[in-house]
A and B are shown apart, each in its own frame.
Chain A
């Protein structure tokens, strides 16, 4: 059983850890300023969440790839459910107790682990109770079913954003009307009005942010790559938590400058850079450090994370905020995985492999991601046609008992030896 002090401390742990990292980064020239900004932002996010109830704020819990620009424009405090589960595991290092609580509640172990950690955390009272739950089927069945248990356990109401499967005009209209309904729902529940000007501002920021994501991604095409491999997670979480917010733009611009300087100085992440790796799938977040270490032993660097970093074509128009929200959803890197599996995904991967000059691909086959796993053979066959070998690493995004560190290291070594041998 989880003690009551511990219950409150999960979020506090995240805040404390982030503040500590931010503080320690200050004035250390070898640590990037963007690093410090990121952790400060995270600390502030969770701090706001911790104090929300006291401050009389309105908290909306939401699932992944949700348009938070809308929430910020209504001065609603967002709580990202899946990522908070990740962060809880990442910063407190403990998640096993939450997984076992979710098993007690009756959730099957085959359900994607972030959702089990989330349910376990809610059941154990480790997370703040939201005022409202927003969820969507964006990306998979797990997120589509993630809402009602939260509503049940928190005793709050909720709204399901039904995202259509394909992107025809009719379906886009449907999505827009769903978004309008959601705004209406939030206004009623929170007593706050949508500030359309603020939403336009947020959209303008998001537009700039996407431009920066693209620029940063382009810089990763440089040989040697200037980009710290693990930072793809920062880019991803920045969009999930802070999309449309000026802090995010500030972070990205700082990071972008740092990368330019690294390139100017002729530095790279690996010296010498022998193998350029494309990473796809959902990696075990607690083992990212170990993975980077083994890779560096062979001079291998992850230079592309297409499903987290490759934004689709297009611009956002602040004058048409809801249309822009929809456009952004369709441009999101992961959205190629959502619709019917076709040339869009395969062409994207081939282009990415060519542009980033990839020597090999690592596919993190997270056991909870069924819809991703179904693409493994197709992707492997397609990459084989351009002579890029692919390693399939069975793992779990949070639970390291599924594939322990030693097993992952061994498989990585075998793969890098294969690349050496070619």
Chain B
């Protein structure tokens, strides 16, 4: 049997398939309105890559925001459980993982056996997430990648004090239209700093412990990650494909279940 994990997120759906050596294949597709369809699409793409087809020899664990709505998975697991497994597999020394997704961020603590020991969610506020950063990019009329590059040039950060995404937006606008306008790299640094502040608040709730990994789509933003490292006071570990950490974890749970003979 092959172990497969699917993470149905609000913006993207990720799938990972394992074999004895490790990750056989993985893919990331856009999440549509229906979780079932998105999951199927991710599954198909991954199977194609792996040279397999949809047959009875797959054990699938689903997770993520849409994880419950997948008819063809054997079991559904919480994102936190899967992230713990995935992080530990990628970096056995990791004790805290910061997952920055499209709509929310989750901080987990992992013990030395790769088990989840604590977590904190940011679910009521959008101001710490990928969608917020996308909105900011639109406001600044730049791509996410260009924004990240620009942030490295900043010598200081613009003050964006609002804890609310809506008010933060109006603060950014006022920085842009100020006379003289705040340098763009400083605005970007200020935006990243306000996201990082919210993350730091969550981290402190569970207690910061080295080593720290950063996963989720936002982990690809090198500018933000750099500011996070400045605030946390040490370097963080980012996997090559940070978006698939939870799906990988789900696949690992699948593998465990196969070994234990759990249907």
**Direct A–B touching in the complex (beta carbon < 8 Å)?**
yes
Q: Contact string, B42-83, partner A, CB cutoff 8 A, digits 1/0?
A: 000000000000000000000000000000000001111100
Question: How far is B115's CA from A389's CA once the two chains are assembled, in angstroms?
Answer: 12
Which chain A residue shows the least CB distance to B121? A411
Q: Smallest Cβ distance from A395 to chain B, in angstroms?
A: 13
- The answer to whether B118 and A389 have CB atoms under 8 Å apart is yes
Question: How far is B77's CA from A389's CA once the two chains are assembled, in angstroms?
Answer: 19
Residues A338-396 near B (CB distance < 8 A): 389
- The answer to whether B119 and A389 have CB atoms under 8 Å apart is no
Q: Smallest Cβ distance from B220 to chain A, in angstroms?
A: 26
- The answer to whether A414 and B119 have CB atoms under 8 Å apart is yes
Q: Contact string, B109-128, partner A, CB cutoff 8 A, digits 1/0?
A: 00000011111010100000
A417 CB-CB contact with B under 8 Å: yes
Q: Contact string, A393-422, partner B, CB cutoff 8 A, digits 1/0?
A: 000000000000001001101100110011
- The answer to whether B117 and A389 have CB atoms under 8 Å apart is yes
User: How many A residues face the partner with a CB closer than 8 A?
Assistant: 10
Q: List 17 A-B contacts (CB under 8 A).
A: A389-B117, A389-B118, A407-B123, A410-B78, A413-B78, A414-B78, A414-B79, A417-B77, A417-B78, A417-B80, A417-B81, A417-B116, A418-B81, A418-B117, A418-B119, A421-B84, A421-B115
Q: Contact string, B122-163, partner A, CB cutoff 8 A, digits 1/0?
A: 010000000000000000000000000000000000000000
- The answer to whether B123 and A421 have CB atoms under 8 Å apart is no
- The answer to whether A418 and B116 have CB atoms under 8 Å apart is yes
The interface residues of chain B lying within 8 Å CB-to-CB of A389 are 117-118
Q: Smallest Cβ distance from B229 to chain A, in angstroms?
A: 25
Q: Contact string, A23-67, partner B, CB cutoff 8 A, digits 1/0?
A: 000000000000000000000000000000000000000000000
Interface pairs A-B: 8 shortest CB-CB = A414-B78, A417-B81, A417-B78, A418-B116, A414-B80, A421-B115, A421-B116, A413-B78
- The answer to whether A414 and B81 have CB atoms under 8 Å apart is yes
The interface residues of chain A lying within 8 Å CB-to-CB of B115 are 418, 421-422
Task: For the A-B complex with A389-B117, A417-B77 known, give 5 more contacts whose Cβ atoms are closer than 8 Å.
Answer: A417-B78, A417-B116, A418-B115, A418-B119, A421-B81
How many residue-residue contacts, CB under 8 A, span A and B? 27
The interface residues of chain B lying within 8 Å CB-to-CB of A411 are 121
What is the interface of chain B, defined by CB distance below 8 A to chain A? 77-81, 84, 115-119, 121, 123
The interface residues of chain B lying within 8 Å CB-to-CB of A418 are 80-81, 115-117, 119
Question: How far is B77's CA from A411's CA once the two chains are assembled, in angstroms?
Answer: 12
The interface residues of chain A lying within 8 Å CB-to-CB of B116 are 417-418, 421
Q: Smallest Cβ distance from A275 to chain B, in angstroms?
A: 15
The interface residues of chain A lying within 8 Å CB-to-CB of B84 are 421
Residues A264-322 near B (CB distance < 8 A): none
Which chain A residue shows the least CB distance to B80? A414
The interface residues of chain B lying within 8 Å CB-to-CB of A414 are 78-81, 119
The interface residues of chain B lying within 8 Å CB-to-CB of A410 are 78
Q: Smallest Cβ distance from A419 to chain B, in angstroms?
A: 10
Q: Smallest Cβ distance from A363 to chain B, in angstroms?
A: 12
The interface residues of chain B lying within 8 Å CB-to-CB of A407 are 123
Which chain B residue shows the least CB distance to A407? B123
Question: How far is B117's CA from A413's CA once the two chains are assembled, in angstroms?
Answer: 14
Q: Smallest Cβ distance from A102 to chain B, in angstroms?
A: 23
Which chain A residue shows the least CB distance to B85? A421
Question: How far is B83's CA from A418's CA once the two chains are assembled, in angstroms?
Answer: 12
Question: How far is B108's CA from A417's CA once the two chains are assembled, in angstroms?
Answer: 13
The interface residues of chain B lying within 8 Å CB-to-CB of A421 are 81, 84, 115-116
Question: How far is B79's CA from A182's CA once the two chains are assembled, in angstroms?
Answer: 56
Of A407, A411, A414, A422, most buried by chain B (CB within 10 Å of CB) is: A414
Question: How far is B246's CA from A414's CA once the two chains are assembled, in angstroms?
Answer: 14
Of A389, A410, A417, most buried by chain B (CB within 10 Å of CB) is: A417
The interface residues of chain A lying within 8 Å CB-to-CB of B77 are 417
Q: Smallest Cβ distance from B209 to chain A, in angstroms?
A: 12
Q: Smallest Cβ distance from B1 to chain A, in angstroms?
A: 21
Of A389, A411, A418, A422, most buried by chain B (CB within 10 Å of CB) is: A418
Question: How far is B79's CA from A418's CA once the two chains are assembled, in angstroms?
Answer: 11
Q: Smallest Cβ distance from B216 to chain A, in angstroms?
A: 17
Which chain A residue shows the least CB distance to B79? A414
The interface residues of chain B lying within 8 Å CB-to-CB of A422 are 115
Which chain A residue shows the least CB distance to B77? A417
Question: How far is B47's CA from A81's CA once the two chains are assembled, in angstroms?
Answer: 63
Question: How far is B84's CA from A421's CA once the two chains are assembled, in angstroms?
Answer: 10
Q: Smallest Cβ distance from B137 to chain A, in angstroms?
A: 29
Question: How far is B115's CA from A96's CA once the two chains are assembled, in angstroms?
Answer: 41
Question: How far is B188's CA from A196's CA once the two chains are assembled, in angstroms?
Answer: 74
Question: How far is B118's CA from A417's CA once the two chains are assembled, in angstroms?
Answer: 11
Question: How far is B118's CA from A410's CA once the two chains are assembled, in angstroms?
Answer: 15
Question: How far is B116's CA from A421's CA once the two chains are assembled, in angstroms?
Answer: 7
Q: Smallest Cβ distance from A340 to chain B, in angstroms?
A: 25
The interface residues of chain A lying within 8 Å CB-to-CB of B123 are 407
Q: Contact string, A84-104, partner B, CB cutoff 8 A, digits 1/0?
A: 000000000000000000000
